[in-house]
Chain A
Amino acid sequence: MFGNRRRLPNIAGLVMHKKSAFILLFSVAVLVSIGLVMLFSAGAFASDGHGDQFSFLRKQGFWFGFGFVVSVICATVDYRWWQKGWMVLIGTSYVLLALCFIRPIGLRLNGSFRWIHLGSLTVQPSELAKFAVVVFVAWWFAKFESEQNRIVKGLLIPFVVVGGILALIVAETDLGSTALIGTTALLMMFVAGVNLRLLLPTLVAGLIGVMAIAWSIPGRHNRLLAFIHPEQYQTTEAQQQFMGLIALGSGGIDGLGLGNGRQKMFYLEYAYADFIFPVIGEELGLRVTLVIVFCYLLILTSGTLVSLNARDRFGMLFGFGCTSLLGLQALINVGVTTSMLPNKGSPLPFISYGGSNLFFCLVCVGVLINIYRHGKEEANATRTEMMVRVRHLSKF
């Protein structure tokens, strides 16, 4: 039956959709491989490694293994299961984000309360929060589709829930994650069909809010100034980005060769984490950086295709949320490291050092695969229906 919810059959889309999961997995595999190799190279000189050059690799390897297993589970278990779990996710997020501020569980690093100790592991609750918000927004707008343009029921409640999480993350002074979660939520609402008259003022208010907060935190507003006048702040606030540019630029087309980068040697801060992209550019050159950008493009498009071919509205919004979570993080990271955006801490998905981030990125991929698997059945059914119709028409 061609119901309201049924997408119109589209042969080209179908073909692309069939391949989209493989493209997605292939891109992720390429990125993870580059990531592990480059982490070994970039982390070898980092002071946090405590002299053990395999330290980063071992920890990241553990998180990759763990994430891979969970991702396979996500790909197997029906994604609709998450609809029931949203409350657990949001609740856990709130608790863990609050725990960040409580010692000795919370860990203060570089003036931010972003981490908590969980046994011997250090995790970043904002990573969980990103995922929880995606699940929650997808569930809310799938459930209340008809009321989504009514201010109280449609918007106010999700705003309060998401806003609470954003407030906690802002208080952690993690503006990068705040902007990412806010943007992801807004994009999901836009795709869900929320009226632009409601969305645009929210967007503007959000932007102004982030800017105002950024300006008010001492040290952060210098980062904004540094973005506007990079030369003046070359050795202070803009140093990291400037060093990133030097790394990228001096790498050239061919790069200096794997392991030959100079900038990672204490010139470039966080060369193994948020600023791993310039190290890749320095050592492997333009070809590989373009391949990486292309991989993110493939993830973005294949993820969108998977979402559009989802079985139901929740799947579509969920898939789209996961896709934009991955795409936006990559976008912010590449933008920051190429000095196209002001310096905000944001990891490069699948590549940067950071267990929590890698884990949830892999979970997102698992979820997308699951959405694809369920969507594919439906698409097959649609094609059968089409053939029936064609046969039916040919009788006349």
Chain B
Amino acid sequence: MNRNEQARAAIVCFALVGVFSLFSVRLIYLQAIQHDVYVSLAAEKHVHKQVIYARRGVIRGCRGEPLAENRRIYDVAADGSHIRNPTALAQAIAGQLEMDPAELEAKLKAVVDKTIADKKTESRVLKRGVSEEVYENITKITKGQRQLSGIYFDLNFDRVYPNGSLLAQVIGYLDAGHEPRLGIERSMQDFLQGTNGVRYLEEDQKGHELVQYRGLETPAKDGCDVRLTIDMQLQNIVESELDDAFAQYKPQMAAAVMLRPTTGEILAMASRPTFDLNDPRSSTPDKQKDRPIGDMVEPGSTFKIVVTSAALEEKVATPETKIYCENGAYSYAGHILHDAHPMGMLTLHEVLAHSSNIGAAKLALQLGKDRFYQYIRRYGFGESTGIGLPGEIPGLVNPPYRWSELDITRIPMGQSIAVTPLQMVTAMSAIANGGLLMKPMLISEIDDADNRPVVTYSPTQVRRVVSTDTAKKIVSALKDVVSKKGTAPEAAVPGFAVAGKTGTAEKIDPRGGYMQGKYVVSFVGFMPADDPKFALLVVIDDPNIPRAFGGTVAAPVFAKIAKRVADYFGLQPTEPVVPPGLVATPKKLTSTLPGRG
């Protein structure tokens, strides 16, 4: 052995030692310096984020009955690495999934083939949204059968609306992407949706959870339940009667709102045409519109309560003050204002009962623009009621400086002004409630998932609009509206004193002016007149019959509803029930034709 060999061996040895040292440096670099980078890379590969879905809050009626609730549904999926026998599996479950066995088998085989080709677990959803029953049946069939393995289920929630189309526009619905549309579903989204939880799972390459490594878990926070003031019994009465009227008159639309005047609680709220909440796809925007809050209508004569009550409150007139009604034609600012039935001298009381346009105009002229405008606003017109539904509009009330010369004679009779049906019934409720305007309320309570109240709403007074005395005088006049000498005898309910006011407004042509022969007819009233349990507005847009008036179309609907509501509330009749045919003929008005407006 010579030195040369030693030297060469040493060179090789040192060279290899050098390379090993290099690798050691590389190890230190990888494991100490780059540690954090690789930890996150590893987490990316192993850790799987699983969403724990929060239960969406339930929308309930005033008795706690669910109006919108959740149903467990399942997505059926096939896992390519677990399917053993596609043919047998397809035969076994095709019936449950209501699929063609051959087609299902082809699908399963494709999943298996893709898994083999990519060497990676392939899974595919076979059917979405199957019911709990199907889930249980398939589980029963495949349980313990190795040949039938490879099917798994993903739990999901589906929103169901037990009452179908009842209260549809108010409740709202969730679209296919689980986004809330319309109504309470949308406006109360923050309360209803809850917060989804998250579970971090570690998985092996084959996607099995490594239970021993289960990491951080943030539980889901379930959504809050929303309880409405809506009484579904009343809602049912209102909607069924509205349906009858809709079928009878074939109008473009109809709406009805019922509320409790003393508290402002909305008891029922309906729009026509309507749609089924469980099948919103087949509806149109027209059917989804919540008319009581989203439609701008000219109120027509129902608006006369504003000018008359203002005149009384401002002591411009008393109920007995005589007003000359120009025998049905009053020229003002170059235009002639007509009454439906020409009249001479009328008291303020009679102006309201007979719905004289000229009388109302003269009262407004006496009040003056500014005071009249003030009262319009005091009744809540021109601003949203804040009921808490999306799409509520404030209506259109111009300030006096924008009024034309003619407006002071048109606005008192409900023209040149636009309000929502809800505003109208709220204003009428103020009269019913002794002059005190209540804020309409739709939501009574919000409860968390454990049924503890989170927010409780109580009735809110907005303001005193007129004194109790003034309100009483108006109520007395409104009672006469429903009498034989008034404009709406058909609104009468035997045994009960009904107060109310008709409205008939010519439809506004979008191109300007009014549409001849097309009317929006309405009736808004409350019952019993001196101790009101409910106020109700019925609006029917363009009823398809000749000579349509509030008194002939809307008033009977009001009466039918009111009668059923009286039964439902168990109200004791206060008035003597006069058998039909024994009614004394009115002295002054021989016309049995109900007045226009």
Tell me if chain B binds chain A: yes
Q: Which residues of A contact B (CB under 8 A)?
A: 4-8, 45, 187, 190-193, 245-253, 262-263, 265-267, 281, 285-286, 289-290, 293-294, 296-297, 300-301, 304, 307-308, 310, 312-313, 316, 320, 324, 327-328, 331, 334-335, 338, 340
- Is B202 touching A286 in the complex (CB atoms < 8 A)? no
Complex alpha-carbon distance, A4 and B24, angstroms:
39
Q: List CB contacts (< 8 Å) of B15-60 with chain A.
A: 16-17, 19-20, 22-24, 26-28, 30-32, 34-35, 37-39, 41-42, 45-46
B426 → A minimal CB distance (Å) = 65
- Is B35 touching A253 in the complex (CB atoms < 8 A)? yes
- Is B13 touching A304 in the complex (CB atoms < 8 A)? yes
Complex alpha-carbon distance, A312 and B1, angstroms:
7
Complex alpha-carbon distance, A7 and B1, angstroms:
6
Given A249-B34, A249-B41, A313-B5, 14 further pairs, Cβ under 8 A? A4-B2, A7-B6, A249-B30, A250-B38, A253-B35, A281-B30, A290-B28, A293-B20, A293-B27, A297-B20, A308-B9, A316-B9, A331-B16, A340-B22
Interface string of B302-320 (1 = CB under 8 A from A): 0000000000000000000
Cβ of B588 within 8 Å of any chain A Cβ, yes or no, is no
Which of A7, A191, A265 contacts B8 (CB under 8 A)? A191
Cβ of B10 within 8 Å of any chain A Cβ, yes or no, is yes
Cβ of B205 within 8 Å of any chain A Cβ, yes or no, is yes
Closest A residue to B44 by CB, please name it. A246
B198 → A minimal CB distance (Å) = 20
- Is A301 touching B32 in the complex (CB atoms < 8 A)? no
- Is B13 touching A267 in the complex (CB atoms < 8 A)? no
Cβ of B4 within 8 Å of any chain A Cβ, yes or no, is yes
Which of A190, A263, A308, A340 contacts B23 (CB under 8 A)? A340
Looking at chain B's contact residues, is the secondary structure mostly helix, strand, loop, or mixed? helix
User: What 5 pairs between A and B have smallest CB-CB spacing?
Assistant: A249-B38, A266-B205, A265-B204, A250-B42, A286-B31
Contacts of B16 in A (CB 8 A): 300, 324, 327-328, 331
Contacts of A320 in B (CB 8 A): 9, 12
Complex alpha-carbon distance, A375 and B156, angstroms:
77
Closest A residue to B8 by CB, please name it. A191
Assuming the contacts A45-B204, A193-B8, asked whether A285 and B45 have C-beta atoms less than 8 A apart, the reply is no
- Is B26 touching A251 in the complex (CB atoms < 8 A)? no
A-B CB contact pairs (8 Å), 23 listed: A6-B1, A190-B8, A191-B12, A245-B38, A246-B45, A247-B42, A248-B27, A249-B31, A253-B32, A265-B205, A266-B206, A286-B32, A290-B24, A297-B20, A304-B13, A308-B6, A310-B1, A313-B1, A316-B5, A331-B20, A334-B23, A338-B27, A340-B22
Assuming the contacts A4-B2, A296-B20, asked whether A301 and B204 have C-beta atoms less than 8 A apart, the reply is no
- Is A190 touching B27 in the complex (CB atoms < 8 A)? no
Closest B residue to A315 by CB, please name it. B1
Contacts of B204 in A (CB 8 A): 45, 262, 265-267
Closest B residue to A330 by CB, please name it. B20
Interface string of B192-214 (1 = CB under 8 A from A): 00000000001011100010010
How many residues of B are in contact with the other chain, CB < 8 A?
39
Contacts of A253 in B (CB 8 A): 31-32, 35
Complex alpha-carbon distance, A293 and B24, angstroms:
7
Contacts of A5 in B (CB 8 A): 1-2
Contacts of A301 in B (CB 8 A): 13, 17
Complex alpha-carbon distance, A247 and B39, angstroms:
9
Complex alpha-carbon distance, A307 and B10, angstroms:
11
Contacts of B8 in A (CB 8 A): 190-191, 193
Assuming the contacts A191-B12, A262-B46, A267-B205, asked whether A281 and B27 have C-beta atoms less than 8 A apart, the reply is yes
Interface string of B450-475 (1 = CB under 8 A from A): 00000000000000000000000000
Contacts of B213 in A (CB 8 A): 262
- Is B20 touching A250 in the complex (CB atoms < 8 A)? no
Contacts of B202 in A (CB 8 A): 262
A265 → B minimal CB distance (Å) = 4
- Is A246 touching B205 in the complex (CB atoms < 8 A)? no
Contacts of B19 in A (CB 8 A): 331, 335
Which of B28, B38, B210 contacts A246 (CB under 8 A)? B38
Contacts of B210 in A (CB 8 A): 262, 265
B14 → A minimal CB distance (Å) = 9
Contacts of A340 in B (CB 8 A): 22-23, 26
Interface string of B370-381 (1 = CB under 8 A from A): 000000000000
A7, A249, A266, A338: which has the most chain B beta carbons within 10 Å? A249
Contacts of A45 in B (CB 8 A): 204
- Is B41 touching A300 in the complex (CB atoms < 8 A)? no
Complex alpha-carbon distance, A8 and B8, angstroms:
16
Contacts of B30 in A (CB 8 A): 245, 248-249, 281, 338
A89 → B minimal CB distance (Å) = 23
Complex alpha-carbon distance, A245 and B8, angstroms:
35
Complex alpha-carbon distance, A324 and B12, angstroms:
9
Contacts of A285 in B (CB 8 A): 31
Contacts of B206 in A (CB 8 A): 266
Complex alpha-carbon distance, A197 and B245, angstroms:
112
- Is B5 touching A250 in the complex (CB atoms < 8 A)? no
B2 → A minimal CB distance (Å) = 7
- Is B26 touching A338 in the complex (CB atoms < 8 A)? yes
B150 → A minimal CB distance (Å) = 18
A224 → B minimal CB distance (Å) = 20
Which of A191, A248, A327 contacts B9 (CB under 8 A)? A191
Closest B residue to A309 by CB, please name it. B1
Closest B residue to A5 by CB, please name it. B1
Closest A residue to B28 by CB, please name it. A286
B538 → A minimal CB distance (Å) = 68
Complex alpha-carbon distance, A286 and B10, angstroms:
29
Contacts of B34 in A (CB 8 A): 249
Closest A residue to B212 by CB, please name it. A260
- Is B35 touching A252 in the complex (CB atoms < 8 A)? yes
A237 → B minimal CB distance (Å) = 13
- Is B13 touching A193 in the complex (CB atoms < 8 A)? no
A8, A187, A248, A316: which has the most chain B beta carbons within 10 Å? A248
Closest A residue to B23 by CB, please name it. A334
